[in-house]
């Protein structure tokens, strides 16, 4: 059971059990009971957007390469901070991305859409089309949802 669910079970004005006793009963430390998560400040959000931009463009880069890339662009950041900010995705099926690209062929182009899981970097579904209609993208997304369930966050490079 998550700490949030455990905290929801507490009654601050319980006539017989103190907060300490309730913490012991549900096996939650007092510090976890009193913890209030801090919001993310604007600078950190801007840095996360920069990391996301680079990672979307180069999904094979790790924290060291992303930090180096950003420093070349004039953004002052260390690899440990990049790694910490990238660690917001904690499990599979939490965040997915979709991307469309074109594949040159003899008589024109084919369009490729891929739906990927960011935690595992696994392609969950993909489709090819010779037109740029949205149908093949929707089909790929529906297949990924049917096979793996809906994600918490769906991200594309188009916002």
Domain locations in the chain as residue ranges = 3-34, 42-86, 95-156
Q: Assign 45 a pLDDT band (cuts: 50, 70, 90).
A: confident
Q: Is the pLDDT of residue 4 over 90?
A: no
What value does the mean pLDDT take over residues 56-71?
91
Q: Mind listing the pLDDT tens digit for each residue in 101-142? A: 999 999 889 999 999 998 888 999 999 999 888 999 999 999
Structure tokens at 42: 């604007």
Beta partners for residue 155, in sequence order: 97
Report the mean per-residue pLDDT for the chain: 88
Q: How far apart are the first and last CA of the chain?
A: 34
Give the HSE-up count for residue 141: Cα atoms under 13 Å, Cβ half-sphere.
Answer: 16
Burial class (CB in 10 A: 0-12, 13-18, 19+), 97: buried
What is the Cα–Cα distance from 73 to 65, expressed in whole angstroms?
13
Helices (H), 15-155: 19-26, 30-34, 42-57, 63-72, 79-86, 135-148
Of 28-32, 69-73, 81-85, minimum mean pLDDT range:
28-32
Q: Assign 159 a pLDDT band (cuts: 50, 70, 90).
A: very low
Quote the pLDDT of residue 2.
76
Which residue did the predictor score with more confidence, 67 or 159?
67
Q: What percent of the chain has pLDDT over 90?
A: 42
Q: Assign 153 a pLDDT band (cuts: 50, 70, 90).
A: confident
Could you tell me if 55 and 66 are in contact, meaning their C-beta atoms sit under 8 angstroms apart?
yes
């Amino acid at each position: 059971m998550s700490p949030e669910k455990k905290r929801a079970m507490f009654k601050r004005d319980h006539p017989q059990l103190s907060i300490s006793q309730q913490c012991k009963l549900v096996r939650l430390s007092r510090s976890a009971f009193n913890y209030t998560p801090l919001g993310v400040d604007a600078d950190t959000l801007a840095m996360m957007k920069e990391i996301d931009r680079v990672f979307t463009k180069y999904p094979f880069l790790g924290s060291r390469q992303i930090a180096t890339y950003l420093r070349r662009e004039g953004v002052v950041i260390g690899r440990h901070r990049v790694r910490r900010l990238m660690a917001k995705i904690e499990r599979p099926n939490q965040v997915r991305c979709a991307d469309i690209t074109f594949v040159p062929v003899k008589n024109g182009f084919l369009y490729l859409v891929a739906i990927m899981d960011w935690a595992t970097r696994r392609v969950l579904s993909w489709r090819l089309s010779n037109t740029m209609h949205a149908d093949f993208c929707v089909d790929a997304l529906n297949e990924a949802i049917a096979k793996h369930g809906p994600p918490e966050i769906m991200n594309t490079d188009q916002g």
